[in-house]
Structure 1
């Protein structure tokens, strides 16, 4: 809102003095400097006009004032000590007679200083309005997360009036205060205008009306030709521009809420199809092969999926400790980097139909990726997976427990594991364990005695590797180590 004339005159650096009594609360929309006998063709009304009285005469003073009053200027600032030592008495008398505010501008105060001061005040008012509107939009957005009722309540309080949310038929859904519900019937003619589509163009988006002690604005909600509801607000005075911005934000949020169910239709149809045992008719269920990705990113997984349009083709399910994401096979190249940015991931083989096996594969790949400190690991890349997958878990765990028992009793499991990971290279295994090579050689001789097997025999190494891989998981599944750090393939 523009500053008042009283606020401008109160600025001490300007030294302005009212010659016509107390200053009113009229607004100053701009400052205009003019020495014309009739500046009104170049004014719009609401200006503070500044002059040195260069062309002013005693005879022309009354007519000059009359033209300014008719144009609706806020006031007249007269500079003394430039052309006139004092304000001409004829001008002062005319201003008092015709109700024009007359300010005396002292000689040291340049007109440009007054213009700059008003400009700064206007900018500060504008910034305050923008800040107020922005803060109101944030409050409305937070309220909208709770529901339309909370949004309507917050809007009414921000405007200092009442607010009423109506459905498409005109029935009141939410009102603040509660007594505003009684206004619904009186608004029906305005709702009919907003429903009506003209012969050409779109229907009206809003209507404004004034009744005794009430200024009302009614707006459509929805994007289609037929409105999905209406929002009505009322205040004691006409809404300023910042308030119109706030109401527009509320309408936008309500429109988003009203249109959201349309975006959920395919999801609800897919759920119904799955419950009815007809997955082929579920629009959001991928028709071709898919991958299941187990990701340790927690809630961040859902955020990254929503950050990319390709994520709309994926279905995510938060599980204990991780999330499972169903990804169309052809979209894996786009989705995998997104998921990896949220946390470590394991990827299944392509699958169709029953995805239980794919989920198990993804979870085993994730476990192996965590152990190996890898960002992502595909199930197909797990070493030895085809052999271990053939083993019956109960018998396999019994075999591993029996074979490794003597090594556990002597604390040699880690030594044997490092030796196998180094492909039997004593120096590399010793470095991995942080011991001397002679210590390693002594420990491996002890292990060979306990096992009654030669660890350098390839068949024995294979048995030990399988036993260690089985023992790496504590549940019923057979785990896959897949994390040997033996470096590039080569000849020992």
Structure 2
């Protein structure tokens, strides 16, 4: 964009010793064209944005005529006027100086003679080259975002390209001011996203690309008119150079690409799910994030700061012969319901899919003693609103977000164990969630039950009595009593001689001594595996 100041800085103009008589604060006005005119009135001849070159013949020595002339130029929207008056015409220069005192546009006096034709040639060449550069820039931006649209690029890539083209940070947020994607452009993420929702709410939404708010953030809406689902924001007071022109174009094209991709494949919830899932997986990857950045990014997605973060995993129950697409459908239904319940219960949490059939949560809890009440309320409301079957595993609460995210592995193990055991294994079907202390050895064995090596071990241990239901029942009761024969006799209403005789026959069939602790452990593990498999 060529301005009045740029024209005055040209060598051909500086040769005339330019003196700004008025409008110094408007020297940044853009120049659309240069017009040489000596007519007394230019009314109707200008379209706005022209820099007029004249020798002052239109007003000569009359200050009143000079004031009228300058007023007409201002009314026509001229960018400014450059008047060449040499030392041989002092009265004309005086008239111009007097009229310029009340002028509303830049008025420049040249006291040395220059060639106006050289000025017009240079300026017009600059204007044309600038227009060609703008066209080339527009073509580049158009092709960039068209390709991203055709490739169905994810929001993160579109936002990153916009930030790269603008040289400034760009944030994509939804209508609730939650950050769906961002590109920091060298700004630390913890600084860029700190208190994002609160800061963003101060910048009112605009239906067109514009600056808004006290900070002057540049923004553009995303989505079809009447169905806006977010906006792109450049959260910088000044923004990049040319932000109101070139930057606005880049931001608009990025917004259009996001809208097209949304129409083709995604809905608003999908974008939120992807943002949360991406962050959750980054949190679990050792060394991927610093605690400060993790907290800032989690807060931008709705996970408020808290004294304790609790890792929780929902594991969908298995269904024989179920197709993967059906598992995905049930998982999405549970995730959507989970987000709804979290919002209604006002429980801050980061929830996303971990893997097929498993959902991970990081729940912000106000205090350790409130862990169980929060989980009871959450799981209870879920149970009331959905028919999807699941088991819930809970890890240890941590004061650090990254440490809590690492605990999702423990919670997943517990959930997997609980899903495989159920009330038949003695966990109690009324429990809404489980911890490691609840599943213990049974939890480990539930994860090994489909391992052929574990099956072979159990079959080998119990082979001599595998078809003898009475012997299997006696062995289980004996092991559950801790090998206490007197207690087993009382509980089974048997005389000791009778019990001892039965145990002797059982030992003989098994070929091991039941007094040996390791033998009892092996047999007990084999019986538990047999029960889980059946």
Task: Give TM-score scaled by structure 1 length.
Answer: 0.41
State the structure with more CA Rg. 1
Bigger relative contact order, structure 1 or 2, given CA contacts below 8 A and separation 6+?
2
